[in-house]
A and B are shown apart, each in its own frame.
Chain A
Amino acid sequence: MRRILVLQLSRMGDILMTGPLLRGLRREHPSAEISLMVMDSFSTTPLPPRLFDHLVSFPLENLARLLADQSADWAPALAHLREFVDGLGSVPFDFVLNLSHTDTSGLIASLIPAKRHVGFTLRANRSGAIDGGWMTYVRAAARSRELMSFHLVDLFSWAGGVGRDDAGLEVDITPADHQWAERFLVTRGLEGRPLIAMMLGASTEAKRWPAERFAELANALAPHLGEIILVGGSGEQALSSTFLARATRRVFDCTGAASLGELAALLHRSRLLVTNDTGPMHVAVAAGTRVVDISSGPVSAYETGPYGPEHVVVEPELACYPCPVGSECNHFACRSALSAQDAAAVVLFALGERPAPVVTNARVLQGRRCSPSGRIEFVPATGGATLNDLIRVATGRVWERTLDTPVRVAGDCVSADADVALAGASDPVRLAAIQTALAEVVRESQAAAKEVGTLTRVSPVKQRAISLSVQGRFERLLALGEVERAVHALVTFLRYEIGSIDASDLAVVARLQAAAYEATSVRGKLLAEGLAG
């Protein structure tokens, strides 16, 4: 491959999580020219420049301004967009990988000529389509994210066809950034002192552990463990004020003072970052600093948590957590699930000062690398495992086995059989319901595969009858996914696969459909076995 374009049109954290993919593409295709497209608001990317050759900023803010200024006349905006698209060149890319799954990103992808597209795009017939098994999985699993088996870092890499290495996330820290951090510490008398950083903000209120609790946590930590530094942007300053009003110990407020690189340099010098799920959390991971991630709201650490086995996650133990996609919360109960005292015990555990604690209304998780791919998954560090833990691990293995998963290139792994932490996870009633649903999935998809397989050998009248029958089975499978969440991703994946078939020849369509139903049946069987085992 000579020209590769990766579209990462999400936020800063997602851009950082794209680093291992870009590194892998560089490794696998050393002579290729790699371009990374981000939204213009994130054009000062924190990624090391060696990971790509060109950074392309999608001019979202300019287009929005042009449309707002001249809402009656969209011609200037169209001209600006055309200029941007033309600027990408008329020679098709060899490979375009869209890591976002919004309609907007699909439209952008559809405007870029490529020999091969992976991810969401809009086809010539105006229907949305997803190419590539792992990107299909990302979209299919989004609505049952409480059962998400994979971290986005691994999914992004596999979508690009590259295996896991051992380097993790990366962030660009320049010598000037390091000098700034040194100066910051020296001028405050913190040189050589252990530091514990805290990030109080998050993109939405639902994701924020209260600033008052952060303050109580800081008060509960013995001074010898570390000096407290508050980090974040200017948006976090109001939270800092709340924190400082409650703090009874010395605290250094750095919010709004550091650039992204300077923040990374400061975090690099910290023992620990205590944070919600945020961009700075990924910066800390990339800077090699251990993280305690306090999850709440719609966040699923299994998907976006701190990427690495040394980090610790606390997630609320509430039936409604994580918030279902598109739902609105009116109680925010999960934000107050974790007490400051329990958080202090978790911090001590993360610092290696005590064993993993059992906490009230929440669970402590820790990452582990799993064989054979080397992916990261989170399992309980203490306390009992739940049926959802078991489902996550079992489904993870099924997808890993049945999709095209690149072999890992480096790194030690925990054996997939070493599931001591999951022993005892049980809920016989729900498990029986899942097994019933899985049996139904297997039966319906096998029957559909068989029926589709006969399509080219029968008369047109019979073809119509078979199509109707298969359509009925398809709809039944989708209904099963709505009723039983453990099979939702399985049948939604099938839905996207069927919907993305881009052929008009009956024999080709029949073959691809049969393969999709067959694969669903195999996955259903494997999952049933995994859960039974």
Chain B
Amino acid sequence: MDRHPAPSASRPPRVMVVGPIFGGSLETARSTARACESLGAETRLLDFDAFGAGWHALPRLLASDTHKTHLQVEYAKVLGEVVVAAAFEWRPDLVIALTQAPLNGSVCARLRAGGLKVVLWFVENFRVLSYWKSVARDYDAVFAIQDEPFLQMLRDAGAPKAVYLPTACDPERHVPVLLNDSEKRHFGADVSFAGAPYFNRQRMLLGLLDLHPKLWGEGWASTELSGLAADGGRRFNLDKMIRIFAATKINLNIHSANHVEGLDPDPDYVNPRTFELAACGAFQLVDARLPLPALFADDEMVTFRSIGELRSQISHYLANPDERAAISARARARAFAQHGFVHRVRRIVEETLPAEFHLRADENAWTRPSQTVRSTSVSDAIEVLERSSPTLTRNEAMLRLLKHVQDGAL
């Protein structure tokens, strides 16, 4: 009677999501954890964001490259021990590691020896980041955003199981935004590109100079296209990103490739931006990718194969706003229905855990497009006040307090 009830035959799994020390997968890890929670899994996110500064600070203390590399490896090992300790304190059924999470062979071996399932979701291009070769064998399964032949390469590298799993959108965060007049002026454009200035993107965009696209993101100010860099070439955060998408008539989505003049010659994965733009209800023109037809129907996504085709599409869709709206609405519905992180998490659980672990069937929060962000929400008002004053005002403090009350975060 006084014992905690034993787990029933069918129950939601306990899932621990492990993020990287830094990099783009940090946000992916957070979205994955949120999806696990929304599916009813008991979830814990090991977020190592705070340790990124330490990682970057280490080399600054040393002169020798050997020392730098060695100590960064040691640093990652310490964080790997944190993963082990946290896992044995909390006893998850499943550990989902995102690309560059600090799990090495020893960490995986101990977790697996303790009866935990450990999987890697490799959300990077395998040609750019090649460490998968040495770690594939350490996991129970590797999920990858590239299909065959990469999956076979993973199996050849020792992965007991390799599964194709594209990236996704986070419908709680990737939402359409209603903009006020000053935001429309600041973010508005016929054509925009938001992302890093990879070499192939620079070359492609040089062909659009006469259309005066706005280029958002860090680094553009020091390229040949500096004249088009928006916001002084500063980094943008999620809040800004969804405003850029909302204020732009045509969002360009060009997959990155270094040392290539034009489009990525190996178009075998779809970047997260494709799903994010779709979830935001924003219109996009994306370079053609092999997996896209299986993810979006022809009337949901417009693709281009050359700069000439891109130019004529821009011209057509600028002149046809209704067509743009219809295409983006269909893409949005598709993204919510099939390409949320919940769908990816469900696949991971189904592929990895026995059938007695079940996730919540109701995916309402994710399958139904969430409400458009209201310009008049407490959060929006806080943001406006934050922008208008360099210091905390009494009104802002009071609104922040109301936000805490509203969120029940007391």
Contacts and interface: CB of A to CB of B under 8 A. Distances in A.
Interface of A: 60, 63-64, 67, 71-74, 77-78, 81-82, 85, 102-104, 107-108, 110-111, 122-126, 210, 212-213, 320, 324, 327-328, 330-333, 335-336, 468-469, 471-473, 475-476, 478-479, 482-483
Contact of A111 (B1, B386, B394): B394
A475 B54 CA distance: 5
B57 A212 contact: no
Contacts of B374: 72
Contacts, number: 111
B90 A67 contact: no
A210 B2 contact: yes
A104 B409 contact: yes
What 10 pairs between A and B have smallest CB-CB spacing? A210-B2, A475-B54, A332-B4, A472-B61, A124-B391, A472-B57, A107-B401, A104-B404, A63-B405, A468-B60
Contacts of A85: 394, 398
B406 A67 contact: yes
Contacts of B399: 74, 78
Nearest to A9: B410
Nearest to B378: A74
A473 B402 CA distance: 38
A63 B398 CA distance: 11
Contacts of A475: 53-54, 57
Chain B interface, >50% SS class:
helix
A132 B102 CA distance: 37
B54 A107 contact: no
A74 B407 CA distance: 13
B14 interface: yes
Interface string B370-397: 0000101010010000100001101101
A305 B381 CA distance: 43
Interface of B: 1-4, 14, 42, 44, 51, 53-54, 57-58, 60-61, 75, 78, 81-82, 89-91, 374, 376, 378, 381, 386, 391-392, 394-395, 397-402, 404-406, 408-410
Contact of B4 (A122, A331, A479): A331
Contact of B2 (A102, A108, A335): A335
A483 B408 CA distance: 32
Contacts of B61: 468-469, 472-473
A107 B404 contact: yes
B392 A110 contact: yes
A494 to B, nearest CB: 15
Contact of B392 (A77, A104, A125): A125
B410 A210 contact: no
B374 to A, nearest CB: 7
Contacts of B400: 107, 122
A52 to B, nearest CB: 23
Given A85-B398, A472-B60, A104 B51 contact: no
B159 to A, nearest CB: 30
A103 B401 CA distance: 9
A330 B409 contact: no
A333 B3 CA distance: 8
Given A103-B409, A124-B392, A332-B3, 17 more contacts: A73-B376, A74-B381, A74-B402, A104-B401, A104-B405, A107-B400, A111-B397, A122-B400, A124-B391, A125-B391, A330-B91, A468-B61, A471-B60, A475-B53, A476-B54, A478-B54, A479-B75
Given A60-B405, A331-B4, A472-B57, A78 B398 contact: yes
Nearest to A127: B392
A60 B392 contact: no
A483 B78 contact: yes
B3 A479 contact: no
Contact of A78 (B60, B402, B404): B402
Nearest to B2: A210
A475 B408 CA distance: 33
